[in-house]
Each structure stands twice: as C-alpha cells, then as structure tokens.
Structure 1
C-alpha cells in the first residue's frame, strides 16, 4: 500500500499543484504512447524476421503499455480522475494477464518445436534503448503518482518497470543465442517475464500497488526527516 506520508502529501496539495501534476501525467502517458508505438513496430518486425518469441512478446508488451497509458490518459481527462481510479487499475491488471498469456503460449510452443531465434541486431538495439529510457520514465511517473497518491498512475509505472525487466531478459536471451547458440534462452527469458506479468497483474487487480522504487523512497523519507529535525 502507499505510505501514509504520500497520503498526507496528496491531501495537502493545492488546486494549482494538483492541476500541474495532472498535466505532467498527461505528458508522461503521451510520451509513453508515442515511444511504445515505435518500439512495438520495430520489435514485432524484428521478432518476426528472427523468429524470436521473446522479441515478439516484447513488441506486444509495448502495445499493452500503450493500452495502459491510454487508460491513464482517459482517466485524467475526466473532471474527477480519482472517481475512475479502481476501473483504470483493473484495466491495467487485465493488460498484464493478456501479455502473460500470449508470451507463455508462444514460448512453450517454441520450446516444443525446438526453435531458436536468429541473430537480430535490431532486436538487441531496441531492447538496449529501452533499458535506458524506461527506468527514467518510470522513476518520473512514480514520483508523480506518489505525490498524487494515485494507484492507477503507480500501476502504470509498474507496467514500465515490467518493460525494463522484459527488455533485460530479451536482450540477454538474444545475446546468449548470438554468442553461444543457446536457442532455448529466448523462450526461457519470455517465460520469466510472463511470471512477472502475472504477479503484477494480480497486485494491480487487487489494488495493492506499491512503488517499484521503494529503496529510493526510503532514502527520500530519511532525508526529509533529517531536514525537519
């Protein structure tokens, strides 16, 4: 659950500050949608060419992120965004489940058929780029969601964190296959991500959304307490 400190911050927000944070959320989701549309096109194309289950799953995850960001964008165009909090969080949870289902089926079929991906420079490039961009974007969204005390914004940030995990797993799988010919690494990486997606989906559905940057939050809280003293 979100800390009591963030709840106090949310209730003490001025109307001007809350409006500014709402605009920031719209900017974040706008950037997320734009980037992930491009990422999805490149990843699905590269995954199809290379016959990579994990890379195609990575591209589909980008589509899920677009849907998640679109749900947040819709929520924050309402006059009373907080009223739609529960519905939006559950939509994000369903998106996690859909991603996990597809990735699991595709990875298992690839293992059964003993099919490994071909070398994919584009796949390595797009996953490496996401490993740089997505952590920064997620951190920015977490800070915003925590101040607003918004579970839907925090859930969307966790979707971005899942993209970081997925990017890392796919990158490692593609690299191991290219360097050592480990054809199965791609599918194993995809299954690991599917498990993470299921876990995140369950937590989002329950509304049990915590910050994925708890260590940083703890440090921030300690700094604030030290300043007050």
Structure 2
C-alpha cells in the first residue's frame, strides 16, 4: 500500500469512527432512556462528545498528509477545547444523576442492551485501534499512533458499562447502575482535563491518553 492509499485509509478510519459514534449514541441514548439505565444513557452522551473529537482527528489526518511536520492548528485546538468543556459538563451531570439514583434507590428496567452495546463497542474499538496502529506504523506517524492509543479510553469506558450492566443482570443490585455512571465520570473528567492540556501544547494526539512532544 503506497503513501497516498495509507492516508486515504487513515482518513477513512477517522470518518468511520465519527459515523460509528453517531450510531452508537443513537442506540445507547434510546435504550438508555427506554430501560432507565443511567450508565447506558451516559455512554450515549459520551459517544456524542467523541463525534466532536473525531472531527478534529479527521482534520488532523488531512493536515499531516499535506504537511507531516506541522503542529496542531486552530481548528484542532478549538475542537479540543469544545470536547474538554463537554466532558467536564458530562462529568458533573453523571455525578449529580448518580447521587439522585443512590438517594431514590432507582434501578434500571433491564441492562440487556447495555451488555450488547458495550460488547459491540469493544469489538469495534479494538478493530479501529488495530487499523490506526497499522497505518500509523507504515506512515511513521506519531500523530496517528497516538490517536490509536487514545481510542483505548473508549474501550475502558465500554468495559465499565459492560461490568455494571453485567453485574446488574446477575444480581439486580440497584446501586450498580449509579456506580457504573461514576466510573464513566472518572474517565470523562480525565479526558476533559487532557483535552485542555493538549489544546495548549503541540503534543500529537487528542485527549484521553499520554502523548509525545
């Protein structure tokens, strides 16, 4: 595969990530509301925020294709700041919602779709990580490789959803849905903080992972 096709592949992966997150958000928000599952509904909101991040990544691929040695531009920095603010607001919303859930003893109708969506997400995210790592290595692009590393945070959040949904399905413990939401909040806060850090620097990747200078 020549360099031109590799960049096309990288851009295709970025677009696929955006489309996948939109679809994931639609299903997670719908079933999260339908089943009254806070962790699944929160997972859907996270997917919407990842769409904003994905737009910045797609733009990054175009930039490094045109100028491999260039630094992050204003579009990417703006996308990072918007993503960071969204993650902070999301974190606050998750914490407040979890507190209400604990106080009221609310429990979801079912967590079946939480299990299904989290398993699908894990499979797709690992496939994307493999694809981005493949093209990043062949292009010797630290930016694309860093983006692949960032995608692991999505896997971790999917595992949190899987764990909380699975435990509830087995035990019917009412508080586990709120615990899962708080687990998502931890990763959300970390991603938000790192988005702002990256927006201030010329580090290579987006948010949610350690990057090289």
TM-score tier after normalising by the smaller chain length: 0.7 to 0.9
Aligned to 2:122: 131
Question: Pairwise mapping of residues 134-213 of structure 1 onto structure 2 (< 5 A)?
Answer: 134-145=125-136, 147-150=140-143, 154-155=146-147, 157-158=149-150, 160-207=151-198
Q: 1:156 to 1:53 in 2, by over 3 A?
A: farther
Q: 1:211 to 1:96 in 2, by over 3 A?
A: closer
Distance 2:24 2:71 in 1: 32
Structure 1 unmatched runs, 5+: 1-15, 215-229
1:120: Cα distance to partner? 3.3
Instruction: Tell whether 2:19 aligns with 1:31.
Output: no
1:110: Cα distance to partner? 1.6
Aligned to 1:57: 42
1:84 to 45, 49, 72: 72
Aligned residues: 196
Q: Flag the structure with larger Rg.
A: 1
Distance 1:163 1:35 in 2: 12
Does the CA contact (< 8 Å) of 1:134 and 1:163 recur in 2?
Answer: yes
Aligned to 1:43: 28
Cα deviation, 1:89-109, whole Å, max 9, x if unaligned, reads 445444433432332232222
Structure 2 unmatched runs, 5+: none
TM-score by length of 2: 0.76
SS of residue paired to 1:117: coil
